[in-house]
Amino acid sequence: MDNLSDTLKKLKITAVDRTEDSLEGCLDCLLQALAQNNMETSEKIQASGILQLFASLLTPQSSFKAKVANIIAEVAKNEFMRIPCVDAGLISPLVQLLNSKDQEVLLQTGRALGNICYDSHEGRSAVDQAGGAQIVIDRLRSLCSITDPANEKLLTVFCGMLMNYSNENDSLQAQLINMGVIPTLVKLLGIHCQNAALTEMCLVAFGNLAELESSKEQFASTNIAEELVKLFKKQIEHDKREMIFEVLAPLAENDAIKLQLVEAGLVECLLEIVQQKVDSDKEDDITELKTGSDLMVLLLLGDESMQKLFEGGKGSVFQRVLSWIPSNNHQLQLAGALAIANFARNDGNCIHMVDNGIVEKLMDLLDRHVEDGNVTVQHAALSALRNLAIPVINKAKMLSAGVTETVLKFLKSEMPPVQFKLLGTLRMLIDAQAEAAEQLGKNVKLVERLVEWCEAKDHAGVMGESNRLLSALIRHSKSKDVIKTIVQSGGIKHLVTMATSEHVIMQNEALVALALIAALELGTAEKDLESAKLVQILHRLLADERSAPEIKYNSMVLICALMGSESLHKEVQDLAFLDVVSKLRSHENKSVAQQASLTEQRLTVES
């Protein structure tokens, strides 16, 4: 190290005098010292003030530019040296050297800039201002097709430099995307897929860029899907496959890329992984099974990719996914149920699946998870049943298969996601199914649980679905017994509150259900309607200009129905409804205007 102090002193003199031999000797000595103890040597270099002299040794004419760039690359491995390198004015001359034709100069310059940018805002800013990124991308483009080892090493360094420049920085990543880095990197991957280091660098770059929404369109216009699938097929190491998965997952969020991945044969690779790993208890294999099956489900979220794999219900992929449902592996059961839920996104698919026995498979799966079951599997299987119940033709078939009985086994669940899907499934099943609605509506345990969930303020979804199911039980059954059960369980106040929901569809459902209650069982519900302040709420809905036409219409229908109750009639008279209703006679909506005339007559006669 004493030697080093002498070298630094000597270097100061020779850098000014430009005595070539002794200058080269000093630089070699510095590189040796850095190889032995990088941190201590870097500290001494910083203390000596020699960094400022390096700028003059980085000119295109200098014979030592490669060695100086190498020294800068070595010192910039230390975090404390990156800002001093920027302050010493080294960035601009380094960026100029990127135009050199000398491979060694380019290599060391790329290393130096890459290390200065690593985790350093100041380093990145300086490279940005000097226009370094564009030059590197242009060099990558021009050198892309040369496959000799030295060039591949240079390409790897340049990719690494761009990574360090833009890592975790959205605006710099967006800048690289605008400069066209994506097609260049995809081309690199295709040409150099035999080179492990370069391939890895491209994958890391893709992983970072793919997180940005603006990158997806550019990726979709390249053959990235084909290249990644080709690469994936060659990999046997878990870590390498994991790296490719990390790129595939964000890319597969884009529908166009989903389809490209399906067409490139990714699904077959994923099915093979599932088959290989399903019985293994090794941690890596379990991870890969989860990642592979999750990705499979993600590919099915795109309408085109999903339909391509469904192949009219005859597709081998669809058949394989079906076989996951009865498996003993929770991850596969989950992926199978989620895949069915995704296939069940149009009526044709749903009808085909119900006719081919999917419902029974899902019911068997749910039965296996009733006691201490896996919540994610319960949630996924219920999601699939809910989707399958949407086409009208499927409802009666699913009801006679006993779906409601299976679903009701989960009434005791304390997990909001399961509660939410359970409610949605029952609501879909009873739509326009009077008998089923009546049967469920008279089920005291169910109605009491619904009333309890109507107060689940921490879970807006569960609360909303419970209210909607209460209303649906009345609307579809039109049954006095159902209304009595709901009144006895304390459900009326929730229906009245639902009439004030911010969602018009829910307001409407509540008003229709309340009108049926008033028409069929007004005496039974009278006290509850009073204490829930229904009349005041209706007055407010009619007076509010923002209320939708159907809300105004159904509110007036309900007012007329309430006139049969003495106490509610009195409340209507006290609130001067006539004023509000007569104004609505000139409403632009014909149905509202007509109902206003009828309601006005009724109010006048009854007053």
Spell out the long-range contacts of 265-274 with Cβ–Cβ below 8 A and sequence spacing 24 or more. Answer: 265/229, 265/233, 266/225, 266/228, 266/229, 266/232, 266/295, 266/299, 267/296, 267/299, 267/309, 267/317, 269/229, 269/232, 269/233, 270/295, 270/296, 271/296, 271/317, 271/320, 274/324, 274/332
**In terms of Cα–Cα distance, which of 285, 281, 293, 286 is closest to 249?**
293
Could you report the per-residue pLDDT of 217-266, keeping only the tens digit for each? Answer: 999 999 999 999 999 998 878 888 899 999 999 999 999 999 999 999 99
The gap from C-alpha 2 to its chain's centroid, in whole angstroms, comes to: 59
- State the Cα angle at 282 between 280 and 284, rounded to 5°: 110
Per-residue pLDDT reduced to its tens digit, 547-604: 999 999 999 999 999 998 899 998 988 888 888 999 999 899 999 999 999 999 988 8
- What is the H or E stretch that residue 385 is in? helix 375-388
Count of helix runs (H) and strand runs (E) in the chain: 40, 0
Residue 218, CA atoms < 13 Å, CB-side half-sphere: 22
pLDDT of residue 1: 47
In this predicted structure, the answer to whether residue 280 has a pLDDT above a threshold of 90 is no
Contact 364, 403 (CB under 8 A): no
- Helices of type H across 99-195: 103-117, 121-129, 132-143, 149-166, 170-178, 181-191
Burial class (CB in 10 A: 0-12, 13-18, 19+), 234: exposed
Residue 11 pLDDT greater than 80, yes or no? no
Question: In this predicted model, which residue has the larger pLDDT, 9 or 416?
Answer: 416
pLDDT digits (tens, 9 = 90+) for 55-80: 988 999 888 999 999 999 999 999 99
Query: SS3 for 21?
Result: helix
Answer with the residue of higher pLDDT: 445 or 313: 445
Question: Which of 292 and 371 is assigned the larger pLDDT?
Answer: 292
Report percent pLDDT > 70 for the chain.
Answer: 98
Residue 17: predicted pLDDT: 58
Residue 123 identity (one-letter amino acid): G
In angstroms, the CA 529 to CA 561 distance is: 12
**For residues 371 and 538, what is the distance between their CA atoms, to the nearest angstrom?**
45
Both tokens assigned to 328: 């003993």
- Indicate the average pLDDT of the chain: 92
**Cα angle 97-102-106, degrees, rounded to a multiple of 5:** 50
Query: Is residue 292's pLDDT more than 50?
Result: yes
Ordered DSSP codes for 582-598: HHGGG-SSHHHHHHHHH
Q: Please give the model's pTM, rounded to 2 decimal places.
A: 0.81
Whether residue 7 contacts residue 33, with contact meaning beta carbons closer than 8 Å, is answered with yes
Interval 343-398: pLDDT, tens: 999 999 999 999 999 999 999 999 999 987 889 999 999 999 999 999 999 999 99
